[in-house]
Amino acid sequence: MRYQSLAYMILTILLFMVLPPPATAYSGDATTLYNQGVALITSKNYTEAVQAFDQAIALEPRYFEAWNEKADALNREKHFDDALAASDHALALNPNDVKTWINRGYILYNLGRYDDELKAYEQAIQIDPTSADAWFNKGYALGGMGKWSEALSAFATVESLDPAYPNLQANEQIAQQNLDASTPFYIKNAPMIDAIAIVIILVIAWIYAVRKKY
């Protein structure tokens, strides 16, 4: 029994060392700096935001939310490579954070790595299939790649999760318009073409039958 208790205690310690701490485990000073950084992003003071996040990280190196927000600020400041490096840190600390994967998608878009961008959103969806943000960004990415039918499918999922999602209807309309424009005439009008073909065949068959009688 004593050995079981010892094993349980060792396992608990190991889990504490491996898993990222919850936000409430961060120090008050680090949390204050983090909140300041978020406010600075909102006010578009990205350089100062990065500084605030760096100070928070100096106090709490495992503060993955601060690493992710630093990545966001660097991305907005157009320091894309540095932003991706900060995103790497955030995911190394917590690979299951949906927000970090979505933010990584934004960075990869700016780096022109569109396939990797799509994979980032798909990873976010794998973690949380109910994330409307992840599905919307997947649809947006698919649209950018010219995959309009798949984009519409992703937007339909967003609508099922959050019918009031911002700009959803506008993006659905754009995707539908582009799909219609890219669909060949013979595919778009296949039912009508098939019906005309059947009528022509019947007419030819009727004419042939009539001539045969005479």
User: Using one digit for the tens of pLDDT, what is the confidence trace for 149-192?
Assistant: 999 999 999 999 999 999 999 999 999 999 999 755 444 545 66
What's the pLDDT band for 129 if we cut at 50, 70, 90? Answer: very high
Two tokens, residue 75: 């991305």
Two tokens, residue 206: 């009727």
Q: What's the rounded Cα separation, in Å, for the pair 89 and 86?
A: 5
Burial 85-95 (b: 16+ CB within 10 A, else e): ebbebbbebbe
Same domain, yes or no: 41 and 120 = yes
Residue 60 lies in a domain: yes
In this prediction the pTM is: 0.74
Two tokens, residue 37: 């950084």
User: Using one digit for the tens of pLDDT, what is the confidence trace for 60-97?
Assistant: 999 999 999 999 999 999 999 999 999 999 999 999 99
Residue 143 lies in a domain: yes
What CATH number has the domain bearing residue 173?
1.25.40.10
Q: What integer pLDDT is reported at residue 1 of this predicted model?
A: 47
Same domain, yes or no: 69 and 96 = yes
Task: Count Cβ atoms below 10 Å from residue 64 Cβ, excluding itself.
Answer: 23
Q: What is the DSSP letter of 21?
A: P
Number of domains into which the chain is organized: 2
Residue 18 lies in a domain: no
Q: What integer pLDDT is reported at residue 69 of this predicted model?
A: 98
Same domain, yes or no: 53 and 124 = yes
Range of the domain at 199: 185-214
Q: 3-state DSSP call for residue 167?
A: coil
